[in-house]
Amino acid sequence: MRPSDVQIIGEELAIKWEDGTETFLPLVKLRRHCPCAGCKGEVDIMGKLYKAADKPLPPQAFQLVRVVNVGGYAIQPIWGDGHSTGLFPFDYLRRVAEMP
């Protein structure tokens, strides 16, 4: 499922999906679910997870500057603290949006 429209509205990312449904994803939730290796860690060939220690995020970390489309499969949020390495494939984005 692909989004047909993505907009930043206040402190949420508004997503209209091709099937006509809409989700409003809080920016805090979006940032906390960033799938990049720096945020979630990396798994080696033996299955061991390597992850840096969690650190507190500044308020700018939850300010979404813009969203860039990546090919036809993902979006890339650009955050106020400069973080921009997280690519959200559409299926992962939809799962995060539907989480309680």
Read off the CATH number of the domain in which 55 is found: 3.30.2020.30
SS3 11: coil
pLDDT band at 1 (very low <50, low <70, confident <90, very high): confident
What pLDDT digit, counting tens, does each position of 85-94 carry? 999 999 999 9
> For residue 96, is pLDDT > 90?
yes
Give 55's pLDDT tier (boundaries 50, 70, 90).
Answer: confident
Quick check: pTM over 0.85? yes
Total count of domains within the chain: 1
**Residue 64 binned pLDDT confidence (cut-offs 50, 70, 90):** very high
- What's the average model confidence in pLDDT over 14-39? 96
Measured CA distances, 52 to 3, 8, 38, 76 (Å): 32, 29, 7, 22
Q: What is the model's pLDDT at position 52?
A: 86
Instruction: Note down the domain range covering 18.
Output: 3-98
